[in-house]
Amino acid sequence: MKGGYRKGKGIDMGSVDLSIKLGSLQLKNPVMTASGTCGFGEELAEYFDIEKLGALTVKGLTIEPCSGNPTPRIAETAAGMLNSIGLENPGLNEFINTKMDVIEKFKFPVFVNISGHALDDFAYMAEKLAAFPEIAGIEVNVSCPNLAGGGMAFGTDSELVYRVTERVNANYPGMVIVKLAPNVTDIVEIAKAAESAGADAVSLINTLLGMAIDVDKQQPVLGNVFGGLSGPAVKPVALRMVYQVAGEVRIPVIGMGGIMTGEDAVEFLLAGARAVAIGTATLVRPDAGPVIIEQIKEYMQKHGINRLADIIGKANPDYVR
């Protein structure tokens, strides 16, 4: 038909099924918010009905409170942003004491993102969080520097990713998601290490290491010199990595990196992601998550898709489930 699509090819917008299975969890839709871009949930709830989200991942926590990196911590780039927040957070105990009761009220799964500088940090946090069935799982951020190992990020070494995952898994009975860093040569090798150590899912990508220089001051823009690049600029890299990983591991993949629209999200699903997370887009407009959910519905209507789960991995011949 010329001049537009036939309305829904007979599909009623209300009847489309966006639900997906993420390991043992059933999500009403695959759209989550990415760690560090939605606070602890209550901040976003001021802007829209947060129950519309499929799931949420809170800001990265460390054992002790952390004041983060020197300012400036944010720089705009041509198609995205650089951040060097440096894991500013209230610390695990404060989180448990002040945020857990808020999280308990949410009717969708909430994941707690954890960071550490030694294997014992991750193991300790996992053990502490095991006492809180109100959270659906842990997302293990392996992008942080391993202080005992000379400062190289855990996530760049498959052996270390294996050991972190194994320790967290041993101490935590719920879902363990390992969040992969993209600053590596072979993302598949790292994802396989997480899978073989017992991860229930992998999420990718975290930010790409970058920098900006102020030509007037003739100095780096960020107080920390280097920062993480996110937003539309990273989407093609993120999509490629999700495609590669989803073709090689059997555990679910949560895709993220530069998703700004429903069609961006659909690209990740077609590549083999079972769920997607929205990061920088939420900083542009806080209700990006529900907007993207509506855009996914429109895509389904346009293409006559009843069940979103049916298109997962469709563009990826190596995706076998």
Ligand X SMILES: Cc1cc2nc3c(=O)[nH]c(=O)nc-3n(C[C@H](O)[C@H](O)[C@H](O)COP(=O)(O)O)c2cc1C
- Chain residues in the site for ligand X (CB under 6 A): 34-37, 59-60, 83, 85, 87, 113, 141, 179, 206-207, 230-231, 234, 256-259, 278-281
Strand order in the sheet with 74-77: 74-77, 80-83, 226-230, 208-211
Nearer Cβ to ligand X, position 258 or 286?
258
Nearer Cβ to ligand X, position 259 or 308?
259
From residue 84, alpha-carbon distances to 78, 87, 228 in Å are 17, 8, 6
Closest separation in Å from C-beta 143 to ligand X: 6
Closest separation in Å from C-beta 220 to ligand X: 18
Alpha-carbon gap, residue 67 to 278, rounded angstroms: 24
38 flagged as catalytic: no
Closest separation in Å from C-beta 97 to ligand X: 19
Phi, psi values for residue 176, rounded to 5°: -115, 115
Alpha-carbon gap, residue 158 to 247, rounded angstroms: 18
Nearer Cβ to ligand X, position 16 or 129?
129
Q: CB atoms < 10 A from the CB of 10, how many?
A: 9
Q: Which of 25, 129, 138, 144 is catalytic?
A: 144
Nearer Cβ to ligand X, position 269 or 305?
269
Secondary structure, 3-state, 224-255: CCEEEEECHHHHHHHHHHHHHHHCCCCCCEEE
Closest separation in Å from C-beta 309 to ligand X: 22
Q: Which residues pair with 203 in a beta bridge?
A: 179, 254
Pairing, β 208-211 against β 226-230: antiparallel
Burial class (CB in 10 A: 0-12, 13-18, 19+), 206: buried
Closest to 110 in 3D by CA, of 84, 130, 133 = 133
Closest separation in Å from C-beta 169 to ligand X: 18
Q: Which residue is nearest to ligand X (CB)?
A: 36
Nearer Cβ to ligand X, position 119 or 265?
265
Query: Which residues are the active-site residues?
Result: 144
